[in-house]
Structure formats: structure tokens, C-alpha cells
Structure 1
Amino acid sequence: MQDRAPRAALIDGKAIAADITREVAAEAATLREQGWAPRLVSVSVGDTPAADLYVRNQQKHAENAGVDFEARSYPAETSLEQLVGILQGLNADPRVNGIIIQRPLPDHIPVKALQKAVHPLKDVEGMHPASIGNIVYNDLALGPCTAVAAVEILKTLPLKVEGLDVTVIGHSEIVGKPIAFLMMGLGATVTVCHHMTRSVAMHSRASDAVFVAVGKAGLVTGDMIKPGAAVIDIGINRVDGKTVGDVDFDSVAQVAGWLTPVPGGVGPVTVATLMKNAVLATRMQMAHYRDAFAKTDF
């Protein structure tokens, strides 16, 4: 009888996140001693249970990381102009080091307009066009959290990234495309697949590592994976009351060498990366203010 026990090693995202959080807490303590206690402000619009859950999760992780956290909620009928004004006020407040825009937003509020309104030095989510664009130049100061987290997970594995054949399934502006650029910056050879790709399986089966970020449960199956490959599942879907990824877990686990579970994989590392961005942003702002207001001799 053939042994059907999973061969893939499950990647413990919670353990990776805990390591990052310990480093962040030490950095936050140092900044606090220097008079720059890292502080995040969360902006929610309307009454949305999903956003409330994210806020509570972020607040808990912020406390663990030694980062101050303030949640602000505004009525659903708040206009775009009012919200942009609120963000401009936060941009100008030196006591605020990072701004998080909670989603979903009301239909009359385009998320990209708010992301553009956040100052790049306070863009801890890495969603500002400048933050996304910097990745092309391999400048990872404040990268998009989910993309950075997924790549950080891969870097913990005993794989030589230089020359690694990688397939990214999904080409969104804030996950798929940044992952591709991040991996190219590390020396990997990257293929990006999307809804117009003729044969996704042809590319994924030839890859040493596969990132999946589409939002379609069970999209990637075991016959699409090269034996021993690393599979980073970034998808989050609700199926029959359960949270699942984009990977058909049972079949892929029989083939892959490493696999992130959903939940417990990329998610915890994403939140830890958000906190890491908070302390990075704080240090960048500290340097900016010192340079801007440094005493000069005339």
C-alpha cells in the first residue's frame, strides 16, 4: 500500500513572525529611548466587521512589538475630500509615524486615492506608488507588506535564491508584481503568470519555487508542482466556513518540498512586516527631521 502521508515540510509562519517581532520590539525600545516612540494610526471608514477584525489583530501585534497603536473610525458617508484632509493632517503630525488604511472602503472612496495621499515616509503598508516603484530600483525601505513577507518566508528555506527558477501566479500591483521584482533583485529567474497565460502548469512545473496570489481556492494542484519545490500560498478564501488558500493543500502537500499553510503561513509574517515597517518609517522620519532642522553655521 502506497504511503500517502504528506511529504512537504509545513512552513511555520507564526515562528518566523515571532522572530521578526522580537527584532522589531528591540528596535522600538531603542527608538523610544531616543524620544521617537513608533506610533501607528489606523483609519477605518464605515462599519465593517472585516476591518474591525484586522484592526484588533494589528493592535495586538503592535502591543507585542512595542509599537503604539491608535484606531480611528469615520462614518461611511465621509467624503473623499474629508479623508484626504484627515490624511494630510496625519502626514504633518510628527507624533504619527505610520498610517494604515483599512479595507474594505465605501464604494465612493477609491482606495488608490487614499494610498496616494499618505506620505511615502509614513506608508507602512507599502502601497504608495512611490513605495511600489522603488522596488524596481531594489530599494526595499518600505515595501508592500504581503509581498515582502512572502519573499522573507522563502529566504528562510535552505535554497540558494541566486539563479532559482521562480513562478509567480497572479500579477496584482501590490502582491504579484512586487514579488517578481523582489525575487529578480535577489538574483532569481522569474516567470509571472496571469489569467491570459496559456499554460500556467507548464511554467509552475518547471519552477523551484511557486508563489500563488490569485484569490481562487484550489487553483494550484499537485500535478502543477515540481517535486520538492517550495510553494508559498498567499491566497485567502472562505470555503464552507473555513479559511483556505489558493493551493489544493492535500495534493500539493504530496509533491512539494515546503508549503505554507493557510491560515498560519504568510498572514502572521505580513502583520510582523507591517510592524517592521513601522520602526523603519520611524527611523527614516527621525533622520529626515534632524536633517531638515539641523543647526547650521552661517
Structure 2
Amino acid sequence: MQELPEVTDPRIIDGKKIAQGIEADVKRGVEEFISEHGIRPALATILVGEHPPSKLYVKLKHWACKRVGIISEDHKLPQETTQEEIIGLIATMNKRPEIHGILVQLPLPGHIDEREVMMQISPKKDVDGFNPLNMGKMLIGREGFVPCTPKGIIRALEESKIDPHGMEVVVVGHSNVVGKPAAIMLLNRNATVKVCHVYTKDLKSHTVEADILIVATGVRGLIKADMVKEGAIVFDVGITWQDNKVYGDVDFDDVLPRVGLISPVPGGVGPMTIAILMEHTLMAARMQR
């Protein structure tokens, strides 16, 4: 596994440090919850197939559970598992009171409708924030369980004492996992938000206007220095695996001299995403009690 770089430049957002702070709070909360209720919060993960990055991400989530004192239950299913079998497993997890959070690792194999699967997770156990009910509550400004990566970005802004109110935000990528929820959550905080994607014409003309630039496309090195406003805050959410190393959507070395703040890959939004998942699992346990 690729080692996280040590952060010494004040312009680089230290996602690992922020994540450690979140996890420390969760660990204290878990201990209090056990003291009050006599039970330990528990997260069930469902992994379908042999996608190497997904296997690593699930492993990292289980390691985080161990660090904060949350029980983790791992369900590994073969590639050929049917949609009905996955939905059946989710139904079982929904009914088990000792399971407080359910996470289905994405992406799922092509023969499975991810949206249909996410709809089956109980909104009370939807710690990834993908159930349509939780998405809808986010849309009207009642954020509960929201997708973990955008919430990690919001937390990083808070840690950096940056209020997005009135700022120009450009989100590149319109996935349900990052792009759309990030745009909505920043709109909820009164930013002016523009969403770009693969069909956007002249991407640079939009990105150069951004006070906050969030990039989540999976295209290695898409964003160059001439596409970034001087002093911008840049969140690189992209992940591309090549030769057992991970790369982001932003050409980091090229862009770094222009930015006010930037999240690296690895060591940026990734650790924060997992820490938020731990926070959500504790939150789900508290709600269910």
C-alpha cells in the first residue's frame, strides 16, 4: 500500500491529521455509548467481486473500526452474486438490531443496479448517505446521513476556518457519490456553485473562476496550473491506480505554486472519508437507541 506523505507545507491539507481528530472524538463517543447502553456500535460491510481498490478500501474501513472501537462485520460475495441475493442480505442486516450501519462498497458489478441496491438500505442504517430519503433530506437542507467524502470536504473547510458563504465553487464531476452531494452541501452553506462534467465545453473557462475547486472525475492529471485561480482552494477527490500507486485528478506539482490550499492524493480526502464513516456509524447507533 502506498505510504502517505508527511505534510510540511502549510498549503497542503493534512487529511490524515483531520481524520485522526475525528476518530479520537468517535472513540470517546463509542466508549460513552457502551457505558450508557452496554452495547458496542457495529458496521456491516458488503463487498461484491474482486475489484482490488474496493478490497483495499473495505480493509481500511475495518482497520478504522478497530481503532475507534466499532465492531465490523465483513460480507464478501462473489462477482456473480445476483442483485436479489444482495438485496436479501441487506434485508437481513436491516432487521438485525445489533447492526447499526450498513455499507455496500461501490462500484458494484455491471449486472447490478446500484441505485436499486442503495434504496434497500434502511435510512437509519445508511451510514454512506446514499438512500434516496437521506439524499432528499440533504437537498432541502436537513443534512443527516450524507455521502462521506463531501462531508469530509466540509469538515476540512471548517478545520481551516473557511466559510464558503458567498464563495465561487466549481465542482468537476457530477456523480451521486461526490459531485452532486458536494454541490448541494455547499449550496446549503450559501456558496455559488457551478457543476461541470465530461460534457462541459471549455472546462478551463469555468475552473479558473473558482475560489473553491472540487475535482472528482478519475482522470489522472486533468487539472493543470493554468486552469486554477491564484489562491484557490483545491480538493482533489480523483483516484487513478497505476503500477500499485494512486494518483489524483490534479497535477499536484504543477498546481501547488498557485493554490491557497490543496488536498493531496493520497492523504487528503481519503482518510477524512473513512473517519466520517466512523462518525456516522456512531451517530446511527445513537439514533437507533
- TM-score under structure 1 normalisation? 0.89
| 2:180 paired residue number | 177
Q: Distance in 1 between matches of 2:219 and 2:55?
A: 24
* Equivalent of 2:123 in 113, 117, 120: 120
Q: Any idea what the Cα deviations from partners look like across 1:156-207, whole Å, max 9, x if unmatched?
A: 2243321111111111122111111101111211111122222322222122
Give, in angstroms, the shift of residue 146 of structure 1: 1.2
* Equivalent of 1:168 in 158, 167, 171: 171
Deviates more, 1:261-270 or 1:71-80: 71-80
| 1:270 paired residue number | 273
Residues 235 and 100 of structure 1: is their aligned pair in 2 closer, same or farther, counting only changes over 3 Å?
same
Q: Identity over aligned residues, as a percent?
A: 37
SS where residue 116 of structure 2 aligns? Answer: helix
Contact 1:8 1:256 in 2 (8 A): no
Map 1:124-203 to 2 at 5 A.
124-203=127-206
Give, in angstroms, the shift of residue 81 of structure 1: 1.7
Give, in angstroms, the shift of residue 212 of structure 1: 0.5
Contact 1:42 1:99 in 2 (8 A): yes
| 1:95 paired residue number | 98
Q: Distance in 2 between matches of 1:150 and 1:205?
A: 20
Equivalent residue letter for 1:26: R
Confirm whether residue 65 of structure 1 aligns to residue 62 of structure 2.
no
Q: Distance in 2 between matches of 1:143 and 1:82?
A: 26
| 2:12 paired residue number | 10
SS where residue 9 of structure 1 aligns? Answer: coil
* Equivalent of 2:260 in 257, 260, 274: 257
Contact 2:157 2:163 in 1 (8 A): no
Give, in angstroms, the shift of residue 128 of structure 1: 1.1
| 2:33 paired residue number | 31
Give, in angstroms, the shift of residue 256 of structure 1: 0.6
Contact 2:171 2:214 in 1 (8 A): yes
Contact 1:165 1:189 in 2 (8 A): yes
Q: Any idea what the Cα deviations from partners look like across 1:203-251, whole Å, max 9, x if unmatched?
A: 2212211110111011111111111111000000124543110001111
Unaligned runs of 5+ residues in structure 1 are 1-5, 287-298
SS where residue 286 of structure 2 aligns? Answer: helix
Q: Any idea what the Cα deviations from partners look like across 1:56-86, whole Å, max 9, x if unmatched?
A: 2111101111111111223333322222121
| 2:224 paired residue number | 221
Equivalent residue letter for 2:14: D
Unaligned runs of 5+ residues in structure 2 are 1-7
Confirm whether residue 75 of structure 1 aligns to residue 78 of structure 2.
yes
Equivalent residue letter for 1:42: T
Contact 1:43 1:72 in 2 (8 A): yes
Contact 2:148 2:276 in 1 (8 A): yes
| 1:294 paired residue number | none
Residues 280 and 191 of structure 1: is their aligned pair in 2 closer, same or farther, counting only changes over 3 Å?
same
Q: RMSD over aligned Cα, in angstroms?
A: 1.8
SS where residue 258 of structure 2 aligns? Answer: coil
Equivalent residue letter for 1:255: R
Q: Distance in 1 between matches of 2:82 and 2:261?
A: 46
SS where residue 84 of structure 1 aligns? Answer: helix
Work out the number of aligned pairs and report it. Answer: 281
Residues 75 and 206 of structure 1: is their aligned pair in 2 closer, same or farther, counting only changes over 3 Å?
closer
Equivalent residue letter for 2:152: A
Computing the radius of gyration over CA atoms, which structure comes out larger, 1 or 2?
1
- TM-score under structure 2 normalisation? 0.92
Give, in angstroms, the shift of residue 129 of structure 1: 1.4
SS where residue 238 of structure 2 aligns? Answer: coil
Confirm whether residue 105 of structure 1 aligns to residue 108 of structure 2.
yes
